[in-house]
Amino acid sequence: MKRKGRSCDNQDAVNRGPWSAEEDQILINYVQVHGEGNWRELSKRAGLKRLGKSCRLRWLNYLKPDIKRGNISSDEEDLIIRLHSLLGNRWSLIAGRLPGRTDHEIKNYWNTYLRKKVEQNHNYNNLPGHNNIPIKLRIESPRCSKNSLGIVIDPTKSSHPVTIKSMSCTEVMMPTRTVNDFTTSWDKNPFASTPQDGHGHCSEGFLKHFDISDVLMPYEDCRFNEYACVEVPQHFGDEAYKVIDAVGETRYDNWKIDDYFPLDYDVGFSLF
Protein backbone atom coordinates (compact mmCIF):
# COMPACT_ATOMS: atom_id res chain seq x y z
CA MET A 1 0.00 0.00 0.00
CA LYS A 2 1.39 3.35 -1.00
CA ARG A 3 0.79 6.32 1.19
CA LYS A 4 2.82 9.45 1.17
CA GLY A 5 2.66 12.68 3.05
CA ARG A 6 2.09 14.58 -0.11
CA SER A 7 0.82 12.90 -3.19
CA CYS A 8 2.75 13.41 -6.35
CA ASP A 9 0.42 11.48 -8.58
CA ASN A 10 -1.76 13.13 -11.10
CA GLN A 11 -4.58 14.16 -8.83
CA ASP A 12 -3.82 17.86 -8.84
CA ALA A 13 -2.02 18.14 -5.53
CA VAL A 14 -4.41 16.16 -3.38
CA ASN A 15 -3.00 16.12 0.11
CA ARG A 16 -2.52 12.80 1.79
CA GLY A 17 -0.98 11.69 4.99
CA PRO A 18 -1.32 13.38 8.37
CA TRP A 19 -3.53 16.43 8.67
CA SER A 20 -1.92 19.72 9.59
CA ALA A 21 -3.34 21.94 12.32
CA GLU A 22 -4.25 24.42 9.63
CA GLU A 23 -6.22 21.88 7.66
CA ASP A 24 -8.00 20.81 10.81
CA GLN A 25 -8.99 24.37 11.57
CA ILE A 26 -10.30 24.92 8.06
CA LEU A 27 -12.42 21.81 8.32
CA ILE A 28 -13.71 22.70 11.78
CA ASN A 29 -14.62 26.22 10.71
CA TYR A 30 -16.37 25.03 7.60
CA VAL A 31 -18.42 22.36 9.34
CA GLN A 32 -19.40 24.75 12.11
CA VAL A 33 -20.83 27.13 9.55
CA HIS A 34 -22.22 24.79 6.92
CA GLY A 35 -22.71 21.51 8.72
CA GLU A 36 -21.64 18.02 7.83
CA GLY A 37 -22.39 16.02 4.72
CA ASN A 38 -21.56 16.02 1.04
CA TRP A 39 -17.92 15.72 1.89
CA ARG A 40 -16.57 15.95 -1.60
CA GLU A 41 -18.28 19.25 -2.18
CA LEU A 42 -17.34 20.35 1.32
CA SER A 43 -13.69 19.69 0.60
CA LYS A 44 -13.81 21.76 -2.55
CA ARG A 45 -15.69 24.66 -1.02
CA ALA A 46 -13.55 24.75 2.07
CA GLY A 47 -10.46 24.84 -0.08
CA LEU A 48 -9.08 21.65 1.37
CA LYS A 49 -6.94 19.66 -0.99
CA ARG A 50 -8.27 16.47 0.47
CA LEU A 51 -10.56 13.78 -0.76
CA GLY A 52 -14.06 14.12 0.62
CA LYS A 53 -13.73 10.75 2.18
CA SER A 54 -10.63 11.87 4.03
CA CYS A 55 -12.44 14.97 5.34
CA ARG A 56 -15.28 12.85 6.61
CA LEU A 57 -12.93 10.48 8.39
CA ARG A 58 -10.97 13.31 9.96
CA TRP A 59 -14.09 15.05 11.19
CA LEU A 60 -15.93 12.02 12.49
CA ASN A 61 -12.96 10.46 14.23
CA TYR A 62 -10.93 13.38 15.50
CA LEU A 63 -12.44 16.80 15.12
CA LYS A 64 -16.07 16.41 16.04
CA PRO A 65 -16.59 18.23 19.33
CA ASP A 66 -18.35 15.53 21.33
CA ILE A 67 -15.69 12.91 20.76
CA LYS A 68 -13.87 11.47 23.72
CA ARG A 69 -10.35 10.43 22.89
CA GLY A 70 -7.86 8.44 24.91
CA ASN A 71 -8.10 7.48 28.59
CA ILE A 72 -10.40 4.54 28.02
CA SER A 73 -11.63 3.61 31.47
CA SER A 74 -11.61 0.10 32.88
CA ASP A 75 -15.41 0.11 32.67
CA GLU A 76 -15.26 1.00 29.01
CA GLU A 77 -12.56 -1.57 28.47
CA ASP A 78 -14.66 -4.23 30.07
CA LEU A 79 -17.65 -3.24 27.99
CA ILE A 80 -15.61 -3.36 24.80
CA ILE A 81 -14.38 -6.83 25.62
CA ARG A 82 -17.86 -8.08 26.32
CA LEU A 83 -19.37 -6.43 23.30
CA HIS A 84 -16.61 -7.70 21.09
CA SER A 85 -17.15 -11.22 22.26
CA LEU A 86 -20.79 -10.74 21.47
CA LEU A 87 -20.60 -8.81 18.22
CA GLY A 88 -17.20 -9.61 16.80
CA ASN A 89 -15.49 -6.92 14.77
CA ARG A 90 -18.59 -4.84 14.35
CA TRP A 91 -16.86 -1.75 15.58
CA SER A 92 -19.61 0.66 14.77
CA LEU A 93 -22.08 -1.33 16.83
CA ILE A 94 -19.64 -1.52 19.70
CA ALA A 95 -18.90 2.18 19.46
CA GLY A 96 -22.60 2.90 19.42
CA ARG A 97 -22.73 1.66 22.99
CA LEU A 98 -19.83 3.73 24.18
CA PRO A 99 -20.89 7.35 24.13
CA GLY A 100 -18.29 9.64 22.62
CA ARG A 101 -16.11 6.83 21.37
CA THR A 102 -15.63 6.16 17.68
CA ASP A 103 -15.47 2.84 15.94
CA HIS A 104 -12.08 3.88 14.71
CA GLU A 105 -10.65 4.37 18.18
CA ILE A 106 -12.18 1.19 19.51
CA LYS A 107 -10.86 -0.80 16.59
CA ASN A 108 -7.36 0.55 17.15
CA TYR A 109 -7.59 0.04 20.86
CA TRP A 110 -8.68 -3.50 20.34
CA ASN A 111 -6.03 -4.32 17.78
CA THR A 112 -3.18 -2.78 19.69
CA TYR A 113 -4.05 -3.61 23.25
CA LEU A 114 -7.25 -5.38 24.15
CA ARG A 115 -6.92 -8.32 21.82
CA LYS A 116 -3.64 -9.30 23.41
CA LYS A 117 -5.05 -8.77 26.84
CA VAL A 118 -8.04 -10.95 26.10
CA GLU A 119 -5.93 -13.63 24.46
CA GLN A 120 -3.77 -13.74 27.54
CA ASN A 121 -6.80 -14.03 29.74
CA HIS A 122 -7.03 -17.64 30.69
CA ASN A 123 -10.71 -17.48 31.42
CA TYR A 124 -11.48 -16.28 27.98
CA ASN A 125 -9.16 -18.41 25.99
CA ASN A 126 -9.49 -21.66 27.79
CA LEU A 127 -13.16 -22.31 27.91
CA PRO A 128 -13.71 -25.95 28.76
CA GLY A 129 -16.81 -26.92 26.88
CA HIS A 130 -20.00 -25.14 27.67
CA ASN A 131 -19.34 -24.34 31.25
CA ASN A 132 -17.78 -20.98 30.72
CA ILE A 133 -19.81 -19.90 27.75
CA PRO A 134 -21.63 -16.80 28.75
CA ILE A 135 -24.87 -16.71 26.90
CA LYS A 136 -27.46 -14.07 26.64
CA LEU A 137 -30.46 -14.84 24.61
CA ARG A 138 -33.96 -13.62 24.43
CA ILE A 139 -36.77 -15.30 22.63
CA GLU A 140 -39.93 -13.54 21.75
CA SER A 141 -42.95 -15.73 21.83
CA PRO A 142 -46.35 -14.86 20.46
CA ARG A 143 -47.75 -16.30 23.64
CA CYS A 144 -45.93 -13.92 25.90
CA SER A 145 -47.79 -10.81 26.83
CA LYS A 146 -44.64 -8.78 26.57
CA ASN A 147 -42.89 -11.17 24.24
CA SER A 148 -39.65 -11.68 26.04
CA LEU A 149 -37.52 -14.16 27.79
CA GLY A 150 -33.91 -13.62 28.67
CA ILE A 151 -31.13 -15.90 29.71
CA VAL A 152 -27.71 -14.94 30.94
CA ILE A 153 -24.98 -17.35 31.79
CA ASP A 154 -22.38 -15.66 33.88
CA PRO A 155 -18.95 -17.35 33.68
CA THR A 156 -17.52 -15.28 36.48
CA LYS A 157 -19.55 -17.14 39.08
CA SER A 158 -17.71 -20.19 40.29
CA SER A 159 -20.77 -22.40 40.23
CA HIS A 160 -21.68 -21.32 36.72
CA PRO A 161 -25.10 -20.08 37.62
CA VAL A 162 -27.59 -19.06 35.04
CA THR A 163 -29.75 -16.06 35.52
CA ILE A 164 -33.09 -16.08 33.89
CA LYS A 165 -34.99 -12.91 33.52
CA SER A 166 -38.49 -13.30 32.32
CA MET A 167 -40.59 -10.30 31.71
CA SER A 168 -44.30 -10.77 31.80
CA CYS A 169 -44.36 -14.07 30.02
CA THR A 170 -47.40 -16.22 30.31
CA GLU A 171 -45.18 -19.24 29.95
CA VAL A 172 -41.47 -19.68 30.40
CA MET A 173 -39.35 -21.63 28.01
CA MET A 174 -36.13 -23.39 28.79
CA PRO A 175 -34.04 -22.22 25.93
CA THR A 176 -30.62 -23.85 26.05
CA ARG A 177 -29.71 -27.37 25.10
CA THR A 178 -26.85 -28.67 23.06
CA VAL A 179 -27.28 -30.81 19.99
CA ASN A 180 -25.97 -34.09 21.18
CA ASP A 181 -28.31 -34.62 24.02
CA PHE A 182 -32.03 -34.23 23.78
CA THR A 183 -32.96 -36.74 26.35
CA THR A 184 -33.67 -34.56 29.34
CA SER A 185 -37.35 -33.96 29.50
CA TRP A 186 -38.81 -30.53 29.54
CA ASP A 187 -40.38 -31.25 32.86
CA LYS A 188 -37.06 -30.86 34.53
CA ASN A 189 -36.84 -27.25 33.60
CA PRO A 190 -36.20 -25.10 36.61
CA PHE A 191 -38.84 -22.60 35.67
CA ALA A 192 -41.76 -24.79 36.39
CA SER A 193 -42.35 -22.76 39.47
CA THR A 194 -42.00 -19.42 37.76
CA PRO A 195 -44.00 -16.98 39.85
CA GLN A 196 -46.92 -15.52 38.04
CA ASP A 197 -49.27 -12.73 38.71
CA GLY A 198 -53.01 -13.17 39.09
CA HIS A 199 -53.47 -13.10 35.30
CA GLY A 200 -51.14 -15.96 34.62
CA HIS A 201 -48.25 -13.69 33.70
CA CYS A 202 -44.77 -13.99 35.13
CA SER A 203 -43.86 -11.09 37.31
CA GLU A 204 -41.84 -8.32 35.75
CA GLY A 205 -38.12 -8.75 36.17
CA PHE A 206 -38.37 -12.20 37.60
CA LEU A 207 -34.98 -13.67 38.37
CA LYS A 208 -34.08 -17.22 39.07
CA HIS A 209 -30.69 -18.78 39.61
CA PHE A 210 -29.74 -22.36 39.01
CA ASP A 211 -26.74 -24.37 38.06
CA ILE A 212 -25.85 -24.43 34.42
CA SER A 213 -25.21 -28.15 34.53
CA ASP A 214 -28.92 -28.62 35.04
CA VAL A 215 -29.73 -27.13 31.70
CA LEU A 216 -26.74 -27.40 29.44
CA MET A 217 -25.41 -30.77 28.49
CA PRO A 218 -21.69 -31.12 27.93
CA TYR A 219 -20.77 -30.81 24.30
CA GLU A 220 -17.29 -31.40 23.12
CA ASP A 221 -15.55 -28.09 22.82
CA CYS A 222 -18.86 -26.41 22.33
CA ARG A 223 -17.66 -22.97 21.45
CA PHE A 224 -17.53 -20.91 18.32
CA ASN A 225 -18.89 -22.52 15.19
CA GLU A 226 -20.55 -25.25 17.11
CA TYR A 227 -24.26 -25.60 17.31
CA ALA A 228 -26.71 -25.52 20.09
CA CYS A 229 -30.37 -26.12 20.16
CA VAL A 230 -33.04 -24.24 21.94
CA GLU A 231 -35.72 -26.48 23.27
CA VAL A 232 -39.18 -25.31 24.12
CA PRO A 233 -42.14 -27.11 25.65
CA GLN A 234 -44.15 -29.35 23.42
CA HIS A 235 -47.21 -27.20 23.64
CA PHE A 236 -45.44 -24.32 21.95
CA GLY A 237 -45.85 -26.36 18.83
CA ASP A 238 -44.68 -25.09 15.47
CA GLU A 239 -45.06 -21.45 16.19
CA ALA A 240 -42.41 -19.14 14.91
CA TYR A 241 -40.44 -17.12 17.41
CA LYS A 242 -38.39 -14.04 17.19
CA VAL A 243 -34.85 -14.39 18.45
CA ILE A 244 -33.10 -11.33 19.72
CA ASP A 245 -29.50 -11.08 20.74
CA ALA A 246 -28.17 -9.54 23.88
CA VAL A 247 -28.01 -6.08 22.44
CA GLY A 248 -31.55 -6.17 21.25
CA GLU A 249 -31.04 -6.90 17.59
CA THR A 250 -33.31 -9.37 15.89
CA ARG A 251 -31.47 -12.43 14.67
CA TYR A 252 -34.31 -14.55 13.51
CA ASP A 253 -37.80 -13.47 12.73
CA ASN A 254 -39.24 -16.92 12.22
CA TRP A 255 -37.32 -19.29 14.35
CA LYS A 256 -38.85 -22.72 14.87
CA ILE A 257 -38.15 -25.05 17.70
CA ASP A 258 -36.23 -27.47 15.54
CA ASP A 259 -33.88 -24.83 14.24
CA TYR A 260 -30.33 -24.58 15.47
CA PHE A 261 -28.33 -21.60 16.52
CA PRO A 262 -24.77 -21.49 15.33
CA LEU A 263 -22.69 -20.74 18.38
CA ASP A 264 -20.88 -17.78 17.05
CA TYR A 265 -21.27 -14.11 17.47
CA ASP A 266 -23.54 -13.63 14.53
CA VAL A 267 -26.55 -15.07 16.18
CA GLY A 268 -28.26 -15.49 19.43
CA PHE A 269 -25.73 -17.39 21.43
CA SER A 270 -22.71 -15.31 22.05
CA LEU A 271 -19.89 -14.64 24.36
CA PHE A 272 -20.44 -11.41 26.14
Partner DNA sequence: AACGGGTGCAACCGCAAACGA
Partner DNA sequence: TTCGTTTGCGGTTGCACCCGT
Binding-site ranges for DNA (CB under 7 A): 1-5, 15-19, 37-41, 50-54, 56-58, 60-62, 69-70, 89-93, 103-105, 107-109, 111-113, 116
Task: State how far the Cα of 52 lies from the Cα of 43, in Å rounded to an integer.
Answer: 6
Sheet strand arrangement including 241-244: 206-211, 161-166, 149-153, 136-140, 241-244, 250-255
Q: Tell me the closest approach of the beta carbon of residue 272 to DNA, in angstroms.
A: 16
Q: Tell me the closest approach of the beta carbon of residue 192 to DNA, in angstroms.
A: 41
Q: Tell me the closest approach of the beta carbon of residue 60 to DNA, in angstroms.
A: 7
Q: Tell me the closest approach of the beta carbon of residue 101 to DNA, in angstroms.
A: 12
Q: Which helix (H) or strand (E) holds 250?
A: strand 250-255
Cβ pair 160, 130 in contact under 8 A: no
Task: State how far the Cα of 171 lies from the Cα of 186, in Å rounded to an integer.
Answer: 13
Cβ pair 247, 86 in contact under 8 A: yes
Q: Tell me the closest approach of the beta carbon of residue 39 to DNA, in angstroms.
A: 4
Task: State how far the Cα of 120 lies from the Cα of 137, in Å rounded to an integer.
Answer: 27
